[in-house]
Amino acid sequence: MSGGKSASRRSGRDKKTAQKVAVVGKAERQQAATARLDRLEDDQDAAEILGQQSDDEFRLEDSDEGPQPGEGRKRKKGAKRPGAKRKTRGQLAEQRGPKSFATMLDEADLEDAPEDAQNYLTAAAAPSVYPAHRWCSVCGFAAPYKCVRCGSQCCSRKCFGVHSETRCLKFTM
């Protein structure tokens, strides 16, 4: 009995140490890299502008020019059930402003397109057959080492020190 108790205690301690040297897995690193690439494609101060979209004065007037094509049909649908109070997802999306390109790409269903046809997805350049350079995430020079926790590259002890103090596991910027 007492043996079992001590075993559970030991496992708890293992867990604690494990948290201290937590390593970000491959999937999370990939996710962080993708998110960063997306951020690099963003327009300036995207967050601020998103906040402004509810601001009436910055919105270009768009609703007082009569029904747009496609809009009429939706109105009729709405008229059929006048009791509906909740806004549908579609209506909310319309209020949020224009669709982003990513949404349009999702809706286009290009993955299901016939294979021989060329489209936006097939036109993307294929991955390189050569390995990427490894630049130090702090100073930018060639970096032979990797941070074991987050996988960022570092060139020296000095840069690694800066990295662990400022950027490690934060994936900011």
Partner 1 sequence: MADQFVVLDNGGSTCKIGLSLQHLPVSVFPNGAGKVKGERQPLVGDQLLACGDMSTVNIRRPIDRGFVVNGDLEREIWGRAFRSVLRVDPAQSSLLLTEAPFALPAVADLTAQLVFEEFGFQSCLKLPAANLALRAHGRDQPGIAANRAACGLVVDAGFSFTHVVPVFDGHAISSGIKRINIGGKLLTNYLKELVSYRSMNMMEETYLMEHVKEQACFVSTDLKADLLTSRPSRGPHRREYVLPDGVNSTTGFLRVPAEARAGASRQQASSEQVLTMNNERFLVPEVLFSPGDLGLQQAGLAETILQAVEGVHEHLHPLLLSNILLTGGTAACPGFAQRLLADLRPFVSDEYEVGVYMPEDPITCAHRGGAMLAASPAFAQAAMTRQMYEEEGAARLQSMTADD
Residues of this chain that interact with partner 1 (CB under 8 A) are 33-34, 36-37, 39-45, 48-49, 52, 57-58, 60, 62, 69, 97-102, 104-105, 107-108, 110, 118-120, 123-133, 135, 138-142, 166-167, 173
Q: Which two tokens stand for residue 71?
A: 């809009």
- What are φ and ψ of residue 98, in 5° steps? -65, 155
List Cβ neighbours of 78 (8 Å cut-off, separation of 6 or more).
84
In the complex with partner 1, the residue whose CB is nearer, 8 or 63, is 63
In the complex with partner 1, the residue whose CB is nearer, 52 or 88, is 52
Cβ contact 139:152 at 8 Å: no
Q: Residue 139 Cβ, how far from partner 1 at the closest point, in Å?
A: 8
In the complex with partner 1, the residue whose CB is nearer, 20 or 58, is 58
List Cβ neighbours of 151 (8 Å cut-off, separation of 6 or more).
24, 29
In the complex with partner 1, the residue whose CB is nearer, 2 or 172, is 172
DSSP conformation class of 151:
-
| Residue 151 CB burial class (10 angstroms; 0-12, 13-18, ≥19) | middle
